[in-house]
Structure 1
């Protein structure tokens, strides 16, 4: 990610970015100090509208390149879109310049308009930090990147508040990037042990954040039947990761965040179709978001006690794979009748939720998972599905998402479907009939011990096949920022 500088004075020699609003005042910034050498004639010639995400360049006499980025109506989310479009346009030009043997600039500066506050700066930083994200394994030399964005404030009194906003946004962006990196790593590299070690490496940078990794022997001794069943078909055994953030002066409840960590999902014996199976390397994005959220919580020093739980397994096909018709005993003693081995996420989450209730004595539970295709069909690829057993916890998740640019839609926990979760030969049925996203949530609810609980289904927005706003194709990092904002709501 580029370094973000917030300063009172501009730096000589850096290319300048001018912001333009949509509407009648789109040309106004071009006549001010930053864009005085452009003006309305140039704007009309290039068709400038000022809409968010619009980026133009102009060569100026003696001053190099000017960049003009549209911020639409100026709402904070439009600044995020503008920042993402700006960094992509900048790096595209830098790549062209490098290929042509021209000098490549690696920095930009932008003088903030008077109306720019903490919200606008935070969104701009998120866009710039995430919009140019790439994951590429290649023998070719990497393309040039934006190294520095210098934001120049108009008043010295704005300096510290805007530096704080930019620093916080950078921490959120780093968490999102970490989730994307874990999600995009191919599964020939990313097995349960690799992802557990990655959690250890990320946490080692932050004093006060502790990580424990438990192997298959410990899982068997402790009774994690769901994790062992799902991971039993793979030659690469499962793991269980706990991340603990327990500040000395913690406020509010003890929050347990639980993330599905299936490092690859063939579907098991209930095998998936070949089309799209390669995308199952991102089936651990819920677990990655929990790991990255705990790292971000620690980086920000939030005064809230939080534990992250990530059950890790690879759902594979072999003679030792679990079968439809099996009965599995979970950590808390409850049993599940297996009907579809491709519904493996709820099996590992059930163990971890039971552990949070019985072992950790948590006060609030949140689980996040790429759980059901039904939720992707219901809400598409830009909105996460939210189930909650209290209005308060639902409102906290939705509000957290609004603050960080992630949308959630609350789904019902339909009481008339609750009896369908019961099994004739075990406590619960893994895959009851009916609407798949809802029945999956009803199944998970059986393992929450009646605690305040939210289930976040990110099957749709966890990955993308196109560019929009700050999102690029591949793992998106969706839910990481929401989890951090949710924790912050208790501070």
Structure 2
């Protein structure tokens, strides 16, 4: 229903600025000839630093570490130590000190990780370094006060922090740095194995989510979303992909998902990506994401200001499949299914009207009072389908669902709604460990009274004011059997960043990939 921009703006028509964007047309969508975005600097590991370029030193206090393998002469060490003292630099988490003119280095950048840094703190130091050096063309060497294995954590942060999405810029586009980044350590083979086996796949999953959400709605719509996901999973073992088109969904009676998209010429889709690792349980953990590739509000049209932001109303679906990509590429011993409920919510003469009754595949009915409360409708059919076809041991919904959650939590937390205490505790722990934090919100039984309908099973909104985020969660939960552990994450306040943080450059955040990856690995 809402992403972070609560009062939404004029629907802008995206016109490619260059004939270099090949006109591969599906419906009215224009697909660029090259979809791949730059992955940034190549990341490697070594015991000795290559010559030249920039040097990053990860600090945990004010004392310059030994830096074995780093090309610093005695005189250069003295100069850096003097600069640390002059600046009263303490190596606190998130702090930086940039030095130039010392030796042959184009730049020496000190990045603080804080005392006894955690894996997440080291990753954030790496992300901070990547952003500080975004416009440095030279190769980068990273050394510092971390153990050999922790070099992989720093590299992971660098991979997340260097993300950029500017593929459509033809004027004033900043050059992509081509110089590699090399992390120093006594055992580079061990660091590389840790990075390649765990952290690079996770960075790939986050990148997939960010790319899908950053794309304009004339590029990513239900059909092209499916195509992009198929491309991302090509050659990845243990994966199966199922896609239901509109004809298949109508045959199954999935009226709520199809109904949301019936005002658009672009047909709706239900995408399910299943990964089963070795030794995993028979019952998967299901991540079910809202995938509204553009949300005009339908007949209940949104205000014009900021409507362009609604290209990101599929961030939940993007992160659901991104988490599965991470788990599959790292060959995690888990069984998961990522579900994307994909539709474009548009207001033409065939669009559903406020007051219409829609029916899910189970036969349950919804009085649709507001067509801009569409996320809960597509998730209703998606939840019922995955429950019947895949028999998951738990279902976690993830959606940019309500502006109300933004008013409650701003951009600091995603809202967590859960009926199962063990699942709620596992999600909260996964949020803390991954750095994608959640705040538990209420599912009071009295809120459910507000969505009772006189002519159908439920309404999709409360007809009078109330706790909007909790009411939205109640609507979604109505379509999940009480015996199934279920939780809902409202990510409307955190799916994009207005300003950069170490692991999240400005733009679509990919929120949820790291969290769901951690949840699956925790064995909850």
Q: TM-score, normalised by structure 2?
A: 0.85
Corresponding residue number in structure 2 for 1:220: 250
Out of 346, 364, 386, the position equivalent to 2:394 is 364
Moved more, 65-74 or 444-453: 65-74
- 1:360 and 1:13 map into 2 onto residues whose CA distance is 54
Corresponding residue number in structure 2 for 1:86: 129
1:287 is displaced (CA, Å) by 0.4
Out of 47, 53, 61, the position equivalent to 2:103 is 61
1:408 is displaced (CA, Å) by 0.6
**Cα distance change of structure 1 residues 377 and 252 upon mapping to structure 2, 3 Å threshold:** farther
Out of 129, 136, 142, the position equivalent to 1:110 is 142
1:419 matched to 2:460: no
1:266 is displaced (CA, Å) by 0.3
- 1:404 and 1:411 map into 2 onto residues whose CA distance is 20
1:153 is displaced (CA, Å) by 1.6
Q: Which has the higher contact order (CA 8 A, sep 6+)?
A: 2
Asked whether the 8 Å contact 1:230–1:322 carries over to 2, the reply is: yes
User: In the TM superposition, what are the counterparts of 1:297-376 in structure 2 within 5 Å?
Assistant: 297-376=327-406
User: In the TM superposition, what are the counterparts of 1:279-290 in structure 2 within 5 Å?
Assistant: 279-290=309-320
- 1:305 and 1:412 map into 2 onto residues whose CA distance is 29
1:360 is displaced (CA, Å) by 2.1
- 2:346 and 2:220 map into 1 onto residues whose CA distance is 14
Asked whether the 8 Å contact 1:53–1:84 carries over to 2, the reply is: no
Structure 2 residue matching 1:467: 3-state secondary structure: coil
- 1:139 and 1:170 map into 2 onto residues whose CA distance is 29
User: In the TM superposition, what are the counterparts of 1:26-37 in structure 2 within 5 Å?
Assistant: 26-29=62-65, 34=72, 36-37=77-78
Deviations 1:163-220 (A, max 9, x none): 4156412221111111110000001111111101111111113122121222111111
Corresponding residue number in structure 2 for 1:452: 485
- 1:16 and 1:128 map into 2 onto residues whose CA distance is 14
Corresponding residue number in structure 2 for 1:151: 183
Out of 126, 139, 146, the position equivalent to 2:170 is 139
- 1:205 and 1:37 map into 2 onto residues whose CA distance is 51
Structure 1 residue matching 2:110: 3-state secondary structure: strand
Out of 90, 115, 131, the position equivalent to 1:73 is 115
Out of 58, 66, 81, the position equivalent to 1:40 is 81
1:300 is displaced (CA, Å) by 1.3
- 2:345 and 2:394 map into 1 onto residues whose CA distance is 29
- 1:174 and 1:386 map into 2 onto residues whose CA distance is 25
Q: Answer 1 or 2: which has greater helix percent.
A: 1
- For structure 2, the residue ranges without an aligned partner over 5 or more in a row are 1-38
- 1:63 and 1:362 map into 2 onto residues whose CA distance is 54
1:49 is displaced (CA, Å) by 4.2
Corresponding residue pairs, total: 473
Corresponding residue number in structure 1 for 2:225: 195
**Cα distance change of structure 1 residues 122 and 292 upon mapping to structure 2, 3 Å threshold:** same
Moved more, 286-295 or 206-215: 206-215
Structure 1 residue matching 2:396: 3-state secondary structure: strand
- CA-based RMSD of the aligned residues comes to 2.3
1:479 matched to 2:521: no
- For structure 1, the residue ranges without an aligned partner over 5 or more in a row are 95-103
Corresponding residue number in structure 1 for 2:522: 489
1:482 is displaced (CA, Å) by 0.8
**Cα distance change of structure 1 residues 134 and 261 upon mapping to structure 2, 3 Å threshold:** same
- 2:105 and 2:494 map into 1 onto residues whose CA distance is 42
1:27 is displaced (CA, Å) by 4.0
Structure 1 residue matching 2:287: 3-state secondary structure: strand
**Cα distance change of structure 1 residues 68 and 358 upon mapping to structure 2, 3 Å threshold:** same
Q: TM-score, normalised by structure 1?
A: 0.90
- 1:314 and 1:292 map into 2 onto residues whose CA distance is 20
1:247 is displaced (CA, Å) by 3.4
Structure 1 residue matching 2:134: 3-state secondary structure: helix
Corresponding residue number in structure 1 for 2:503: 470
Asked whether the 8 Å contact 1:251–1:490 carries over to 2, the reply is: no
Corresponding residue number in structure 2 for 1:101: none
